[in-house]
Structures are given as structure tokens and as C-alpha cells.
Structure 1
Amino acid sequence: MKNIKSNLKFVFILTTFSLLLLTSCQDKKNQEDGHEEQQSENEVALTAAQFQTVGIQTGSIENRNLNLVIKANGYTTVPPQNMANISTLIGGTVKDILVLEGTYVKKGKVLATLQNLDVVEMQEDYNSAVANIEYLQLEYNRQKTLSDENVNPRKILQEVKAKLDVEKARAKAAKSKLQTLNMSTNGSSLIPIISPISGYVGKISIAKGAFAESGTTLFEVVDNSQMHLDLNVYEKDLGSIATGQTIDFVLTNQGNKAIKGTIFGINKSFSNESKSVAVHAKINPADSKDLISGMYVSANINIKNATVPALPKDAVVKNGDKFFVYIQEEHIEKATVKKSETHGHKEGESHSEEEEGHDEIYFKAIEVIPGTTDLGYTEVKFVEQIPANAKIVIKGAFYLLSAMKGGGEHEH
């Protein structure tokens, strides 16, 4: 009886130990499976052959002197004093058009001539007033002599003087009207339309024989030598903007040609509902000659130079709305694949299998926050700290991203 109890006690202890061992193994297996599942989300493995074929290159963080920039969009424009919308002060029939669109004209060039009979009356008024002035001046001199000798009453002298002053005023007004119309007091009755600035003729809004209304724009002339940029900068960036800062901009519709400029003015009021402020920048004269007012540009305003941690820009890849770099992990594992020898066997015949081993190199995706990009390098800030001697992939990161997402995986 005593032996039976001892045997039962031994069986109970052995069973309990077996259950504990099985549970421990199962928990360990679950932990390993969970770890592997967690690793698979941000890790990718390449064979040594793939590593060589893709041309993966690694490097380390560098401290680079990069330009910190603020991005802004805007348009090319010219100052108001370098753009003229030319009209006429008096209507008339278009007699001649003497220029073509796109031609360069100098200040004072006659662009067209108008015909209006009212200017003939202006010339007649002026010439008549001048003739009366000559007569009244002689009469005034005569009356003054008589008045000084007390021959005629002084009242007659005053009347002559009043008439002389009226004619002088009438002559002056008629002459002023003619000069405003760029006409002489004698000569042709044609009204010349003259360019007030030097520049290129833009749109011509009249036709020969048509009636040109007063106040309506007939010609546009633009002087592109003072071309500048109007950039829209948002409120959050205004504190970093100052006159004298340099900018680099590209013409998005002109092959992304890069041009430089300098900020010379900042508006003190918001320009629209988007809470942006117009920032004005001069363009280097050598680059402005081929520009046209109204071109859309994308610009980088250079705030300052700063030494920041940076990587080659190809090292940073985007996955969804986040950015990553890849680091090479230290562990290299031996993987095995089954190699079937089916070549040369007919259907129904047996075939042998053997195992072939190869090394796998692991890479881990690390989230970063990119900053400014300049001279082929991008500023990076790591969300989590990485080892100081980490091997960061600087070439081939895009391939690793594709492999991690399933586009470049290999079987093993």
C-alpha cells in the first residue's frame, strides 16, 4: 500500500513538471512568433547576392552646412512706373498705327495718330488770343502815356488792361490744351499718341479707321528692365523674413530655369483672405531680360546657413505620410531553401530534395523628420535614438522600401 502511494506521488510530480515545461515552451514560442511578427513590419532582408546586385551602400550621419529656406510662390511683375497703359484725353478717328506688338520703342515715340476737328478750334483760339494780345498791348501802352499826361481818364487804361489780361489767359489755356495733347500751336491737326516710357509694346487695342474713345487704353508698353517678384509669404514665416535676404526661384513653365534675386521690400498689410503678405524681390538684371510680367514662380527664401545633421537626399524615403531611413542590422542569419531536383525526371518518378544555405542581411526602417534640402543633402531628425555607429543606407533605400511593401521580396 505504501509503495502504491509513492508511485502515485511520483506520477503526479512528473505530470505537473511536464505541463509546466510544455506551457513554458509554448509561451516562449508565442513570444518569438510575436517578435518575428513585430520585426517583419519594419524590417526587410536581402540575400548577399541581392545586396550586391542592388548596389546597397551605407554611410553615417554628417554635419552639413545647409541653407535653411522658406518656400513661397508668386509671380513676376514690374513696378507701376515701368508699365504704361496709354490712352487719349480726347476722342478721335485712328489715322495711322505706327508700331507692332512686341516691338521696342523709346520714350517719346509716336505710336499712332488720331484726327479730331476740335483741335483745330483750339489752335484758332490760341492764334486769335495771341493777335488780340498784340493789339491790346499796344493800346495799353498808348493809354498809359495819355493817362500819365492826364489827357484821358484812368478808367480807360484799366479797361484796356482788363481786356489784355483776359486774352493772355485765353492764350495760355489754349496752349496748355494743345501741349497736353502733344500738339504744337501751329501745324498738323493730327493728335499724336506718344509713349511715356521706353519698353516693349504689349497689347494694341485699336484699329485703323476706328474711333478711339477718351480714357480707353489704346496701347500697353512695359519696361522689363526693372522686373521683380511678388511672393506670397504666410503669417507664420514673416518673423524670419528680412530685406537683403537672397532667394532662388524657378520658372515652373520655363524648364525650371534657376534664377537669383534679393528681397527689397515687405508689405505691412495682408494681401488677401489667406493671411499672406506680399514680399518684393529684385531680379538680377542679366536674368530679367527674357522674363515676362505674370510668370508663375516657385521660390526658396534663404534664411541662414546652419550646421545640421544630414544625409544624402536619396537616403530618405516616404511611406504614406511618414519618412524613413534604413539602417543595416548587425545580425546575419543563415537561411535554408529546399532545392528540388526534378530536371530529367518523368511523371511518376521519384525525385530527391536537398537544402541549400545562404546568408541574409537585415535592414530596419527608422522614422525621421526631414528638414531643408540643399546641395543634394537633406536635414534629418530621428524620432528614436539610433546607435552612434549605425550603418545608414545612403544608396538603395527605395529598393528596400519596395521590398518591405512586397514589391521586391524574395522567397526562402
Structure 2
Amino acid sequence: MNTRYNYLIFLLTAILIASCGSEKTENTDTEITTNEVITISKSQFESSGMELGKPVKMNFTESIRANGNVVAAPSGMAQISSLLAGKIKRIAVNVGDQVSKGQILCTIESTEFIRLQQDFAEATGMLKASRAEFERQKLLAGDNIASQKIFLNAESDYKSLLAKVEGQKAILLLLGQNIEKVSQGAIQSDLNLFAPIAGYVANLQAETGAFAEPQKIIMELVDLNQLQLKLSVFEREMTGLKPGLKINFYSPNNTDEIFIGQVVAFSRAIDPETKAITVIGSIQQSEKAKLISGMYLEAEIFTGEREVMALPDEAILKSGETRLVIVRTSNDANEMKFITKEVQTGSNSNGFTEILNPEGLDNVLIKGGFNLVME
């Protein structure tokens, strides 16, 4: 066991600290050995503002660390593409524009669209004649005037044409067309694409004059009112996770602005590659306007509280992987003796560190310990 009488060094250190005004010394790593004895005078202890204390009971908030993105709910996202091929005649919006549901987003010139309308109008007219012939042959067959074969052929022709018309009608309805007008021969050359949801144009991947291929994305819409959190939580940290828990989240680029959310749901399967589960969280409505879809964030999910014994962070000294405190062992008339003692630490909260072995720590130097061991 080494004994160090560092009066002179301690006095010089105290003078340097006093000259630095309000600057705070951080308990960074330094080489300290366990059971190291330090002796100082009482006047040194008092003049340097040192304080003694002991571990106190505190309620530490338990939390889970997570990261992820701000995303729109499935019903709050829309990818806009054309069902038919054609040339983009006009784009009516730009990135960042707010759009309402049903608003025209772009117009496509499509010969395929023209042919579809023509075929539907012609087939609709033919269907009336086919239905009439089918009904006539049905009556004749019932009176044994016409052969059953002729009736069956008429029935087959009618049903085949009916299926064709209904199929064309379904496509035209998907394209937002007025079936009654098309059936009467009102043919349009321009195919308008409409906004299926209200929101903002998040992405635009085409320009006027470009060829629009079926199913190729032209633009994307996002409803900011339906933004939510999509977080990843590792398997080892998911204990206590449940719907309703509070979430604090922030952008790593601006850690001072904290947003508040709540756990809504989480997946019941662990990703075999990341060893994590997906957690979906809600966002307060008033804060959604400050966020962007796709924004990366870090989060803390609060799972509850537990009672611990803790010391101020300043009382904990770091020496590599070892954590130590300075404990007073004697208090004579003119001098005070201290010894360094290794401690096992747990979590941290609001400037305090959990002590897992608090026994025998009744007189811990909770202020000024770092400067005392520096040489």
C-alpha cells in the first residue's frame, strides 16, 4: 500500500483551480490504484471546497435506446404512376407543393388510352344488340321455334361481350373516367392522374415530355398528418417494451430539440440479420410540421422506474475500465486520511451514477476527488 504526502502538490493544484474561476474539471481517465492512501490537512480540505457524502436512494428512470426514421403511415403515402403508356404532357405540381385529394397532378397523352375508350364505346353499342338477340333466341328456344344450338351461340356471344365491356369499364373507372360519357362517344386524348390522398409532393421523378411507362413512379406524396416513428430496438434491450410507453426522440444534428411520442405497436418477430424488432410510435400532432419523412433520429423509450443507491457523477473516478471512489478512513485533529476503493457502477441518470456495492461507503469524497489524486 503506497502512502503519498502531497501537501505541496495539492496546494499548487488548489491555486490553479482557484485561478481558473468557474471552469469545471471533468473526471477523465487517469491512472489510480485501488487502496491508495492519501493524506491532507483539515485546512486543505476546507479551503478547497471538498465535500463528503454517501450513496443515497434515488428513483432511476429505466429506458431503452433506439434509432430509426420518421416515416408516413401506409395510408399516408402514395406513389403516382400511370396504368397506361404515354407521353407526359404537363406536370401540375412541384416538389414541396401541398395538394388536396382529387387534385390533378399531371396529364399524359396516350394513344392506348384513346383506343381503350374507342373499344369500350363500340363494345357498349354492340352489347345492346347482342343482348337483344340473346333475349330473342331465348324466347324462340322456349317455344321450340329455334334450335337449342342457335340459342346457346347467342348466349355465348352475349356473355363474352358483356365480360369484355365490364373489363374495359373497370379500367376506365380506375383511370377516373366518366363511363356514361365514354359510352356515348366522348373520347379524350389526355389522361389525368389525380392525387389519391391529401399531402405534400415528396419526390418528383419525371419531367414534361418524358415517356411514362406503366407502373413507373412519376412522383410520391406524403401526408404529414400521418407521420410516425419507425424504430429499431435490439433483442437484448426489449424487456419491458409495451404500447403506451413515452418516447423522447431527436435528430443527431440537433440534440437540444426533443420531440415527444408514444409506443403504438411493435413487431412480434426478430429480424435474423439485425437481431432487432421494429417499434412504431406516434408523434404529437403539434410537432409533425417540424419533421420530414425519412428523417433519421435517435430515441429513448421510457419503460419505468426503479430504486437504486447512487452517488454524484463527480464522485466517480475513472482508471481505464475501473471505477473508484475516495473514502475517508480517519479524521484526526489536524489531518484527514482517505483511501481509494473500487466500486461497481450501473446506469446513469441526471448527474448521478448507480452504485451496485454501496456497503462501507459512508464517507465518500463527493466533491474535489479528481483534483486530489492528480499529480
Residue 302 (1) aligns with residue 296 (2): no
1:392 correspondence with 2:367: no
- Indicate how the Cα distance of structure 1 residues 306 and 134 shifts in structure 2: closer, same or farther if over 3 A, else same: same
Is 1:66–2:55 an aligned residue pair? no
34-43 vs 104-113, which moves further: 34-43
Amino acid at match of 1:392: V
Q: Does 1:370 align with 2:364?
A: no
Distance 1:87-1:317 versus aligned 2 partners, 3 A rule: farther
Report the equivalent of 1:119. Answer: 113
Say which SS state the counterpart of residue 218 (structure 1) adopts: strand
* Counterpart amino acid of residue 234 in structure 2: Y
Aligned partner letter, 1:310:
A
Judge conservation of contact 2:5–2:40 (CA < 8 Å) in 1.
no
Write out per-residue CA displacement over residues 277-305 of structure 1, whole angstroms, 9 at most, x where no aligned residue: 33333333333332223333332232321
Q: Which residue of 2 aligns with 1:284?
A: 284
Partner residue in 2 for 1:245: 245
Distance 1:89 1:67 in 2: 53
AA at the equivalent of 1:105: V
Deviation of 1:95 (Å): 0.6
Residues 77 and 286 (structure 1), Cα distance of their counterparts in 2 relative to 1, 3 Å cut = same
Higher Cα radius of gyration? 1
What is the alpha-carbon distance in structure 2 between the residues aligned to residue 273 and residue 141 of structure 1? 64
1:129 aligns with 123
Please report how far the alpha carbon of residue 233 of structure 1 lies from its aligned counterpart in structure 2 after TM superposition.
2.6
- Counterpart of 1:29 in structure 2 is none
Give the aligned partner of residue 102 of structure 2: 108
Q: 1:362 to 1:114 in 2, by over 3 A?
A: farther
The answer to whether the 8 A contact 2:4-2:39 is kept is no
Change (3 A) 1:280 1:367: farther
How many Å separate the matches in 1 of 2:242 and 2:367? 38
Which of 175, 187, 198 is residue 181 of structure 1 equivalent to? 175
**What is the match of residue 80 of structure 2?**
86
Structure 1 residues 169 and 235, CA gap change in structure 2 (3 angstroms): closer
| In structure 1, distance between residues paired with 2:279 and 2:145 | 77
8 A Cα contact 2:5 2:39, kept in partner: no
Task: Check conservation: 1:87, 1:214, Cα contact below 8 A.
Answer: yes
TM-score, reference length from structure 1: 0.71
Tell me the distance in 1 between the aligned counterparts of 2:93 and 2:101. 13
Pairing 1:43-58 to 2, within 5 Å after superposition: 43=37, 51=45, 54-58=48-52
CA distance in 2, matches of 1:69, 1:159: 74
Partner of 1:134, secondary structure, is helix
Would the aligned equivalents of 2:67 and 2:297 in 1 still touch at CA under 8 Å? yes
Q: What SS class does the counterpart of residue 240 from structure 1 fall into?
A: coil
Q: Aligned pair count?
A: 342
Following superposition, the deviation at residue 270 of structure 1 comes to 2.6
Q: How does 1:13-412 map to 2 (within 5 A)?
A: 35-36=2-3, 41=33, 42-43=36-37, 51=45, 54-140=48-134, 158-184=152-178, 185=182, 186-331=186-331, 363-382=338-357, 385-387=359-361, 390-396=362-368, 400-406=369-375
Counterparts of 1:332 and 1:74 in 2: how far apart (Å)? 58
Alpha-carbon offset, residue 45 of structure 1: 5.7
* Corresponding residue SS for 2:52: strand
* C-alpha displacement of 1:146: 6.1
Relative to structure 1, the CA distance from residue 37 to residue 52 in structure 2 (aligned partners, 3 Å threshold; closer, same or farther) is: closer
Give 1 or 2: higher helix fraction.
1
- Sort the Cα spacing of 1:136 and 1:99 in 2 relative to 1 into closer, same or farther, 3 A: same
Flag the 1:313–1:284 CA change in 2: closer, same or farther, 3 A: farther
Letter in 1 for 2:204: I
Structure 2 match to 1:26: none
- TM-score (ref. length: structure 2): 0.77
User: Cα distance, 1:365 vs. partner?
Assistant: 3.6
Given that 1:67 and 1:372 are in contact with CA atoms closer than 8 Å, whether structure 2 keeps it comes out as no
**Residues 293 and 370 (structure 1), Cα distance of their counterparts in 2 relative to 1, 3 Å cut:** farther
Q: Residue 94 of structure 1: CA displacement?
A: 0.6
SS at match of 1:166: helix
Task: Identify if the C-alpha distance between structure 1 residues 124 and 211 changes in structure 2 by more than 3 Å, giving closer, same or farther.
Answer: same
Give the secondary structure class of the aligned counterpart of 1:289. Answer: helix
Quickly say closer, same or farther: Cα 1:91–1:64, change in 2 above 3 A: same
TM-superposition CA deviations, 1:63-93 (whole Å, max 9, x none) = 1122122323333333333322222222211
Unaligned 5+ residue runs, structure 1?
1-33, 335-359, 407-412
In percent, how many aligned pairs have the same letter?
A: 28
AA at the equivalent of 2:238: L
Deviation at 1:99, TM superposition (A): 1.0
Select between 64-73 and 42-51 the one with higher mean Cα deviation: 42-51
Give the deviation of 1:36 after TM superposition.
1.4
> How large is the RMSD of aligned CA atoms in angstroms?
3.3
Q: Which amino acid aligns with 2:95?
A: E
Q: For the Cα contact (< 8 Å) 1:266–1:279, is it kept in 2?
A: yes
Q: Which has the higher contact order (CA 8 A, sep 6+)?
A: 2
Are 1:69 and 1:372, in contact at CA under 8 Å, matched by a contact in 2? Answer: no
Which ranges in structure 2 are unaligned for 5 or more consecutive residues?
7-31
